[in-house]
Amino acid sequence: MSLDSSQPNCRRFDGQIAIVTGGAQGIGKATAIRLAAEGATVLIADRAEPEAQAVADLITASSGQASVVSTDLETWEGAEAVVKTAVERYGRVDVAVHNVGGTIWAKPFHLYPIDQIEKEIQRSLWPTLWCCRAVIPQMIEQQSGSIVNVGSVATRGINRVPYSAAKGGVAATTVCLAMELAEYNIRVNCVAPGGVDGGERAVARNKGLADYDQVDADGIKGVMDQTFRDTPMGRMGTPDELAAAIAYMASPDAGYVTGEVMHCSGGGAGIR
């Protein structure tokens, strides 16, 4: 992937500072590259520091501007550190894309052990909540900003109830914050992906987990079967396609759009 892969036709983010969380791989990586290609200076926040640095190096090698902060976004301290770093390095935050999250296990809800339920919520809800809470005061001070949270059509699906609940929380957070923050010229939107073919992950979500077993393997097969059944376009999306949707929502082109959940999912839909 290079800065040219998304083929942006304009520079909507010239002079803007953008945070992209989970930017080391997949949708986050494609989004960081897309925003940089359109002129943004991008701060990539990810605890997979070598992989995040590789993305930043790719951007700078193509005459873009990017740097990395390594932090754990499942904690308030980690989210606060990202915003502090952005302000210290660049003076402001114009765009914040909150992308951290992802299913770890997959099975009918009654088969989830309690600790797995807690870990799914920890992975896929708290990073967005913490990051929103951290960046909002800076954007209020500026009287401007655009937040794009990454949700999921898993809010209408099977075998991932804890993850689905987390992503439902992301959607609800988006709508409520949009209502609270409109008076400050801050827009808050959500892009909800369907199935996305991100290739091999730089950091596997469930690799080496002793409690990821055949039940989960069967559960994820059920998820995939349902995804293809309920996706009219009959295929997976690509990270670049999601990055394009996120870039639109973050950009001035969506200047009169706030509180929306955009399903970028080949026609599949979750609960709005």
Render pLDDT for 71-98 as a digit per residue (tens, 0 to 9): 999 999 999 999 999 999 999 999 999 9
Q: Is 134 exposed, middle or buried (0-12, 13-18, 19+ CB in 10 A)?
A: buried
- Given the residues 90, 112, 163, 212, select the one marked as catalytic: 163
Find where tokens 């040219």 sit.
Answer: 4
Distances from the Cα of 239 to the Cα of 21, 215, 268, angstroms? 15, 28, 16
Q: What pLDDT is stored for residue 203 in this prediction?
A: 55
Which of 10, 1, 54 lies closest to 240 in space, CA to CA? 1
Closest CA to 19 of 122, 149, 125: 149
The string of pLDDT tens digits covering residues 170-215 is 999 999 999 999 999 999 999 999 999 976 655 556 655 668 889 9
Q: Please report the pLDDT score of residue 271 as a whole number.
A: 80
Nearest CA-CA partner of 169 in 109, 234, 227, 122: 122
Each residue's pLDDT tens digit, 36-54: 999 999 999 999 999 999 9
- What pLDDT band is residue 243 in, cutting at 50, 70 and 90? very high
pLDDT at 206: 60
User: What is the Cα gyration radius of the chain?
Assistant: 17
> Quick one: which H or E segment has residue 180?
helix 161-181
Element (H, E) at 228: helix 214-229
Termini Cα distance of the chain: 32
Instruction: Find the helix or strand (DSSP H, E) in which 146 lies.
Output: strand 145-150
Share of the chain above pLDDT 90, in %: 89
Domain ranges of the chain: 17-197+204-262
- 137 close to 85: Cβ distance less than 8 angstroms: no
- Residue 92 has φ and ψ, to the nearest 5°, of -165, 175
Q: How confident is the model at residue 69 (pLDDT cuts 50, 70, 90)?
A: very high
The pTM assigned to this predicted structure is: 0.93
- pLDDT, residue 1, reads 42
CATH of the domain spanning 17-197+204-262, picked from 3.40.50.720, 3.30.70.100, 3.30.1390.10, 3.90.190.20: 3.40.50.720
Verify whether residue 163 is a known catalytic residue.
yes
Q: Given strand 95-98, what is the order of strands in its sheet? A: 65-69, 41-45, 17-21, 95-98, 145-150, 186-193, 261-264
